[in-house]
């Protein structure tokens, strides 16, 4: 006799198949449409445009110097670097000043106080952008490493495309298998949810930005409301891409593996701290929304295993007729994971740990929701931003 439980399991299997087939198609479209920057051979511009790199740094003393040296080691002909010390307390400012004394291309700005109504990072980036004149602006982070020739390649590619905004996804260096699995699951869901294959289509509303590498044509940025439009946007990097496209600029996404890299997080405790801002960027400062996402996420991600178990249990405990659905989901999950792993040059074995990554991510989201509720806001870069203040200024909706 078919029970309500059987009907629910069948419906779950149907939704799971739709989710994983949609994921597979989305991943294939991303892999086929997003270029790998290192493989591109754009012609050099007749005249290299001026380029200013703007970095917002807060308490980055452990990572700043090698990252800055990789940037100052670039052979780009007309390069300036503006590092904005965002109220650091660990010697970041002193280290940057010492480097600036050895290289005239580097300028350091010290922010001592944060104006009301701004996120610290966004305000720092705005101050840096206002300080320097250039044809292009590159917004990046204080722990990003650049391979030799990376800036020449990126600017030549953007000029030849042509593009007004180039977002380049870096190599994410993981210390162990658990974090690697989380990176691959994040990349897969992020790529599909934001429809990254459609970013370059001017008729599409898809947009993206990458905190590690957001290259923007200044003349186009000046046609927008500027970074003040994003002053309380936690996902400011994605918001920059949204703003550029909304005001008529052409955005392009590239895979910058081999050219740009960053050590993602050294351990799970650091991942948890970084995920705290998800209460705003993902949950929009809403506990019910975070709870809903925390439930739906693992339900979709674990569907292949749950349905497989239900299909192999003998009737009436299970429903053997669902075996084909389980195999379809498993095949789509493996295929999409393999595509992401190859595209990002990661180990597929770690990517196949996506069920564990889903459960770990759910715990982090629930922790973010609890902290956001208990604190009454999000703590980012040492500052508490109340929920009521952030919620009213959020423009980016992820997912």
Do 24 and 68 belong together in one domain?
no
Q: Are residues 183 and 220 in the same domain?
A: yes
Question: Do residues 249 and 201 make contact, with C-beta atoms less than 8 angstroms apart?
Answer: no
Boundary-marking domain end, from 265, 292, 316: 265
Whole-model pTM?
0.93
* Domain annotation covers residue 398: no
Segments forming the whole domain that contains residue 248: 35-265
- Same domain membership, residue 173 and residue 288: no
122 with 218, same domain? yes
In this structure, the answer to whether residues 64 and 25 fall within a common structural domain is no
Question: Over the range 224-256, which residues count as b (16 or more CB within 10 Å of their CB) and which as e?
Answer: beebebbbbbbbbbbbbbbbbbeeebbbbbbbb
Q: Are residues 96 and 238 in the same domain?
A: yes
Q: Could you give the number of structural domains in the chain?
A: 2
Q: Residue 47 domain-assigned?
A: yes
Per-residue pLDDT of the chain (399 residues; tens, 9 = 90+): 667 877 888 999 999 999 999 999 999 999 999 999 999 999 999 999 999 999 999 999 988 999 999 999 999 999 999 999 999 998 899 999 999 999 999 999 999 999 999 999 999 999 999 999 999 999 999 999 999 999 999 999 999 999 999 999 999 999 999 999 999 999 999 999 999 999 999 999 999 999 999 999 999 999 999 999 999 999 999 999 999 999 999 999 999 999 999 998 889 999 999 999 999 999 999 999 999 999 999 999 999 999 999 888 877 766 888 999 999 999 999 999 999 999 999 999 999 999 999 999 999 999 999 999 999 999 988 889 999 999 888 888 765
Which one, of 125, 163, 184, lies nearest residue 37 by Cα?
Answer: 163
Residues 358 and 243 grouped into a single domain: no
- 25 and 39 share one domain: no
Of 241, 265, 289, the one marking the end of a domain is 265
Tokens of 131: 């300080």
The answer to whether position 167 is within a domain reads yes
Say if residue 252 is in the same domain as residue 144: yes
Distance in angstroms (rounded) separating the CA atoms of residues 351 and 337: 6
Residue 241 tokens, joined: 């891409």
Of 265, 297, 325, the last residue of a domain is: 265
Are residues 12 and 72 located together in one domain of the fold?
no
């Amino acid at each position: 006799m078919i029970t309500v439980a059987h009907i629910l399991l069948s419906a779950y299997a149907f939704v799971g198949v739709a989710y994983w087939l949609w994921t597979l198609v989305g991943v294939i479209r991303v892999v086929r449409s997003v270029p790998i920057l290192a493989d591109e051979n754009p012609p050099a511009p007749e005249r290299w445009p001026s380029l200013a790199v703007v970095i917002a740094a807060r308490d980055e003393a452990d990572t700043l110097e090698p990252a800055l040296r990789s940037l100052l080691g670039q052979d780009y002909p007309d390069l300036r670097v503006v590092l904005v010390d965002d109220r650091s307390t660990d010697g970041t400012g002193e280290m940057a000043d010492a480097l600036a004394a050895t290289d005239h291309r580097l300028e350091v700005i010290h922010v001592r106080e944060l104006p009301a109504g701004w996120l610290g990072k966004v305000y720092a980036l705005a101050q840096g952008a206002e300080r320097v004149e250039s044809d292009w602006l590159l917004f990046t982070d204080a722990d990003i490493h650049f391979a030799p020739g990376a800036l020449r390649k990126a600017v030549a590619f953007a000029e030849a495309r042509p593009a007004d905004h180039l977002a380049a996804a870096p190599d994410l260096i993981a210390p162990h298998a658990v974090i690697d699995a989380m990176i691959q699951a994040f990349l897969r869901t992020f790529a599909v949810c934001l429809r990254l294959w459609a970013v370059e289509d001017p008729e599409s509303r898809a947009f993206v930005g990458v905190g590690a590498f957001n290259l923007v044509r200044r003349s186009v940025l000046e046609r927008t409301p500027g970074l003040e439009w994003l002053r309380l946007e936690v996902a400011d990097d994605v918001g920059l891409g949204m703003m550029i496209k909304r005001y008529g600029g052409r955005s392009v996404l590239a895979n910058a593996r081999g050219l740009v890299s960053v050590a993602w997080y050294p351990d799970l405790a650091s991942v948890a701290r970084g995920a705290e801002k998800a209460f705003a960027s993902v949950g929009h400062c809403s506990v019910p929304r975070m709870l809903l996402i925390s439930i739906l996420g693992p339900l979709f991600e674990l569907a292949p295993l749950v349905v497989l178990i239900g299909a192999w249990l003998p009737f009436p405990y299970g429903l053997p007729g669902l075996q084909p659905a389980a195999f379809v989901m498993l095949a789509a999950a493996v295929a999409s994971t393999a595509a992401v792993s190859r595209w990002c040059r990661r180990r597929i074995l770690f990517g196949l740990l996506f069920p564990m990554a889903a459960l770990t991510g759910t715990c982090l989201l629930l922790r973010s929701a609890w902290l956001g509720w208990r604190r009454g806001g999000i703590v980012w870069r040492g500052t508490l931003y109340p929920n009521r203040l952030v919620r009213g200024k959020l423009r980016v909706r992820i997912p």
